[in-house]
């Protein structure tokens, strides 16, 4: 099922025709989400998010033709675009990465509607976990509890010396000072190369990702996928899954589905739990908030202040 989007807040949730039917499907399938500030136990939402969440903040994604990072790296004299994020290349030639890092470094960008929507889910006690592919730390800036956040591709928030015998840890501020001084960061303890804790090609995902993924699978009631083509199996087959993205993703091919990979089904006669809201992520979150009745917060709060600056029909936070 696909739903278009509107940038006009007054239009959200008040649509007709095929689109209205799909919004009705959303309302029916997400109806378990309580509007009270004290939801009953067992209503757990997991968000899995990617680059599409942060592009409205001005951060480019990686692969979009013409605008993505990989299309605009000519000045770095790389053998191929992906080399800038390969650990072997980085250890020999760290300069291109740190030059790029100056353009992308946290502190220059602000969270988007989607980031604050997840904060709202957290404040209402509905967010079990946010799994993000992004390294920009905007989830943290929006106020997500680090315990509810899994940065699957790592983060700029901390850095470590790469020497196995050292592994000295450094802060975001320490790394920022060196990057913006055009210095290659070296360890103060052993003079080894220091790298932000983002996951490069050739490195393993954080252990916390695998540990929590397994336990969260057993508890989740609703999976919301935003701004990513991330394949979402092996999530339990009976949970509802909502995709907010510019295009449908995650279907896979029949053979991959039989093997247990991919498998989102929006259009077939057997479709019963997957729904896609097609458009930009910010508009999708505003539409979903409208359906849930989350408008103006009754008391001052960071979420009230943020939503109030976006739209006259803003979200309702917990009292």
Known binding positions for Zn(2+): 161, 166, 187, 190
Q: Which residues of 273-306 are buried (b: 16+ CB within 10 A; e: fewer)?
A: ebbbbbbbbbbbbbbbbbbbebbebeeebebbeb
Known active-site residue 5: no
Reference 261, options 231, 286, 240; nearest CA is: 231
User: Is-cis flag, bond preceding 28, omega within 30?
Assistant: no
On whether the CB atoms of residues 302 and 120 are closer than 8 A, the answer is no
Of residues 5, 93, 115, 153, which has the active-site annotation? Answer: 153
Q: Tell me how far CA of residue 207 lies from CA of 30, 88, 150, in angstroms.
A: 31, 21, 10
Beta strands in 199-273 (DSSP E): 222-226, 240-245
Q: C-alpha dihedral over 303, 307, 312, 316, to 10 degrees?
A: -40
On whether the CB atoms of residues 267 and 285 are closer than 8 A, the answer is no
On whether the CB atoms of residues 275 and 244 are closer than 8 A, the answer is no
CA dist., res. 202 & res. 218, Å (int): 30
The distance of Cα 219 from the centroid of its chain, to the nearest Å, equals 20
Q: Tell me how far CA of residue 142 lies from CA of 44, 110, 237, in angstroms.
A: 20, 8, 31
CA dist., res. 285 & res. 291, Å (int): 10
Contacts of 296 (CB under 8 A, 6+ apart): 304, 307, 308, 313, 314, 315, 316
The residues annotated as belonging to the active site are 153
């Amino acid at each position: 099922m696909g739903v278009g989007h509107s940038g006009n807040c007054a239009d959200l949730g008040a649509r007709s025709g095929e689109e209205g039917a799909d919004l009705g499907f959303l309302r029916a399938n997400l109806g378990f989400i309580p509007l009270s500030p004290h939801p009953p136990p067992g209503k757990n939402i997991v968000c899995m998010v990617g680059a599409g969440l942060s592009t409205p903040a001005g951060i480019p994604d990686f692969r979009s033709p013409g605008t993505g990072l990989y299309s605009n790296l000519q000045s770095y004299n790389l053998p191929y675009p992906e080399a800038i994020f390969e650990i072997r290349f980085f250890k020999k030639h760290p300069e291109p990465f740190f030059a790029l890092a100056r353009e992308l470094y946290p502190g220059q960008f602000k969270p988007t509607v989607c980031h604050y929507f997840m904060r709202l889910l957290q404040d209402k006690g509905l967010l079990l976990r946010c799994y993000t592919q992004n390294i920009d730390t905007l989830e943290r800036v929006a106020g997500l509890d680090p315990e509810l956040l899994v940065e699957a591709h790592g983060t700029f928030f901390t850095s470590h010396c790469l020497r196995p015998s050292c592994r000295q840890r450094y802060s975001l501020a320490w790394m920022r000072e060196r990057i913006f001084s055009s210095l290659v960061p070296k360890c103060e303890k052993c003079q080894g190369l220091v790298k932000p804790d983002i996951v490069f090609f050739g490195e393993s995902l954080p252990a916390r990702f695998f540990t929590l993924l397994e336990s969260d699978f057993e508890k989740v009631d609703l999976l919301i996928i935003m701004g990513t083509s991330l394949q979402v199996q092996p999530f339990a087959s009976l949970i509802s899954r909502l995709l907010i993205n510019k295009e449908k993703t995650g279907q896979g091919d029949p053979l991959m589905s039989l093997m247990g990979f991919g498998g989102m089904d929006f259009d077939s006669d057997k479709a019963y739990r997957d729904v896609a809201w097609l458009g930009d992520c910010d508009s999708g979150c505003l539409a979903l908030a409208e359906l849930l009745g989350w408008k103006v917060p009754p008391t001052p709060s960071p979420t009230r202040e943020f939503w109030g600056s976006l739209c006259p029909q803003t979200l309702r936070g917990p009292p």
